[in-house]
Structure 1
């Protein structure tokens, strides 16, 4: 069945032993400047980026497009300077103090009915507090998208179909592993860019690019290698999902 949804590309950096963070789930800042430039290029090529609440909590920010040539290409293509940044979370349990809410970007929230109510109540509290404090801009999402399955989980396919209906054609998925796993399980990933960085993190609890329950080998998603690039000590692997 054809899915009318954006073209999705997972973009992640990992250690040589396949970890996207250490066992403390610290922000993964082990990628080089070349890896950051590569990530920015993928973000600039997208209409929107999608990432989980865990990823946002770890970093506190999202990567914006800053390279002049990338900004120029977006403007020449009739796009805004920055793609839409979409946080996907069941609970919407996010701190309004993180720098993400001060970045000059369009922020959307993809959540459940309960998550939307929780965040809206949170924002009302911030607005009331703002009347008596010097806080200039309470945390705010431009849009709150609610797509829910009968079991109360986020209906990611329905959400992606909605994005396609409003002309979001390319979506970059920036983690974490639980989100990537759920999207792979639902056959919602088209391509992957994996940067292999020259370090070993180890740890049975350290997160990997794909978490979740896992796949048995006979039913595991199969990949086609499209491109391999080596920049100094890092290897950039570009895959397409086989269907």
Structure 2
């Protein structure tokens, strides 16, 4: 039995695999179809999770506004919006950004250090502190807690460093990647998976579930294959 939420990463990227330009500007290159796809994934989730860098870039989060999706959530006895969870070691966020005025439930997943500024404030409904002995966020324990509070489906909306951390913790189940018809380039431009990276023979493997083309964009749906014992070349 899986004691954590089913977790899907949802990202749009350029044809050369960048999720933002080299200045890490907000990614506005997705079409209306991509935005509708993202909203559908959010509506199917109990919580959406994103890193502080993603929130700083946009200043807001995407909410469910489509009447059909709102009706579906109501019929399933779920609140109109999923919980929106910011994950950040430092929680160095500007409390004046629009995100804190949006009509969503906000949680913060952080360390004891990151929680210090926010604990006496009202912006976050919950502050979750899950910490390893060396002061990093204990991702696996946090995901196990989410399951305990009835969060069964999570959509991860970025960024690449967060995705790398979740891959290392082995808590990702699926990827939805939208390939957009633009080339961004840039050696420092962020990609869907950042972090230290993987050697090929130890890299996470994907199984392609579905391919959709809508006008000039390609929507790729992958299942992450669980690690297995393999024979590696010397």
CA distance in 1, matches of 2:163, 2:27: 17
Given the alignment, which residue of 169, 185, 189 partners 2:152? 169
Match of residue 17 from structure 2: 18
Encode CA deviations 1:28-57: one digit per residue, 9 max, x unaligned. Answer: 010000000000000000000000000000
CA distance in 2, matches of 1:107, 1:69: 24
The SS at the match of 1:180 is: helix
CA distance in 2, matches of 1:66, 1:147: 32
Match of residue 51 from structure 1: 50
The SS at the match of 1:163 is: helix
Encode CA deviations 1:172-207: one digit per residue, 9 max, x unaligned. Answer: 000000000011111110000000000000000100
Encode CA deviations 1:87-112: one digit per residue, 9 max, x unaligned. Answer: 00001100011100000000000000
CA distance in 1, matches of 2:124, 2:73: 23
The SS at the match of 1:227 is: strand
Match of residue 73 from structure 2: 74
Check the 8 A contact 2:118/2:124 in 1, yes or no: no
CA distance in 2, matches of 1:100, 1:116: 18
CA distance in 2, matches of 1:175, 1:145: 19
Match of residue 241 from structure 1: 224
Match of residue 123 from structure 2: 140
Task: Supply the RMSD in Å over aligned alpha carbons.
Answer: 0.9
Match of residue 136 from structure 2: 153
Which is richer in helix?
Answer: 1
Normalised to the residue count of structure 2, the TM-score between the two structures is 0.95
Encode CA deviations 1:92-139: one digit per residue, 9 max, x unaligned. Answer: 100011100000000000000011113236x3xxxxxxxxxxxxxxx6
CA distance in 2, matches of 1:163, 1:43: 16
Check the 8 A contact 1:93/1:119 in 2, yes or no: no
Given the alignment, which residue of 188, 192, 198 partners 1:205? 188
Corresponding pairs, count: 226
Encode CA deviations 1:56-89: one digit per residue, 9 max, x unaligned. Answer: 0000000000000000000000100000000000
Check the 8 A contact 1:15/1:196 in 2, yes or no: yes
Normalised to the residue count of structure 1, the TM-score between the two structures is 0.91
Unaligned runs of 5+ in 2: 227-234
Check the 8 A contact 2:9/2:157 in 1, yes or no: yes
1:3 to partner: Cα distance: 4.6
Match of residue 7 from structure 1: 6
Match of residue 178 from structure 2: 195
Please state if 1:100 is matched with 2:99.
yes
Encode CA deviations 1:129-159: one digit per residue, 9 max, x unaligned. Answer: xxxxxxxxxx610000000001100001101
CA distance in 1, matches of 2:117, 2:73: 35
